[in-house]
Amino acid sequence: MDTSGSAGHPDLLLERRGPVTVLTVNRPDRLNALSRDTLQQIGRAVDAFTADPAQRALVVTGAGEKSFVAGADIAELAEVAARGAAATEEFARAGQSVMDRIERSAKPVIAAVNGFALGGGCELALACHLRIASTHAQLGLPEVGLGTIPGYGGTQRLSRLVGLGRATELVVTGRRVPADEALAIGLVGSVVPQAALLDAAVTLALAILRNGPLAVAAALEVMREGVGRPLGAGLELERRRFGALADSADMQEGLRAFLGKRPAEFQGR
């Protein structure tokens, strides 16, 4: 286990567990709320993770047991909103950019939701490829109670994940979803006790990493890019990526290993 320094990331804790990076938002005095600076730090940390070939999966969580990320920094949002529409749109664009970089990662990103994931915190979890929640987690997009709407991708990603009807109800009421309901509607993939949460997320990451990295990256891309397309266009995208993998050493190794009844040794090429 290697804990990296926080130079340039004062609001984050970065820890390496073998090939898995654990990124912890560390503002417990503010319930890990996302300021603009914290978002920029997350973006830089994600970029560094993406560029590091030794780090192959990312787990995102929050410090403490009360909050994953409780939302945006409301005092900061109020200051931006007072400057008008253009400034507020740019505020959203900056947050969306960070969420997009997480979602578009070719390496798996898992949210370990350890408490309140509200507003921007829920949007951060939605941008991750997979979500695991602790038993006392609560997720929600309460922005309408502030007279606004989610601005970091929540209206779009939530509807794609749980369906338009259910997402509409959650967004326009702003209600919080407890962990058991989040599991039932597909907002999270599993619920575990708080004490087991981080280990469960890392275990899931390691299970993914036993598979071919090119195949995992292709699967993430095809599902992300295909979801908004007509079925025929999505099938074409799938077919092209399926064919392209045949030229990789990894696919040839995977097939040989299966036929030879041995573990595959993937090289990512």
Catalytic positions are: 123, 143
User: What single-letter amino acid sits at 232?
Assistant: G
User: What single-letter amino acid sits at 207?
Assistant: A
Residues 132, 201 contacting (CB under 8 angstroms)? yes
Among residues 241, 209, 238, 240, the alpha carbon closest in space to that of 226 is found at 238
Radius of gyration of the chain (CA): 19
- Cα(205)–Cα(110) distance, integer angstroms: 7
The sign of the CA dihedral 97, 45, 30, 140 is positive
Vertex 189: Cα angle to 220 and 183 (nearest 5): 140
Vertex 26: Cα angle to 67 and 179 (nearest 5): 20
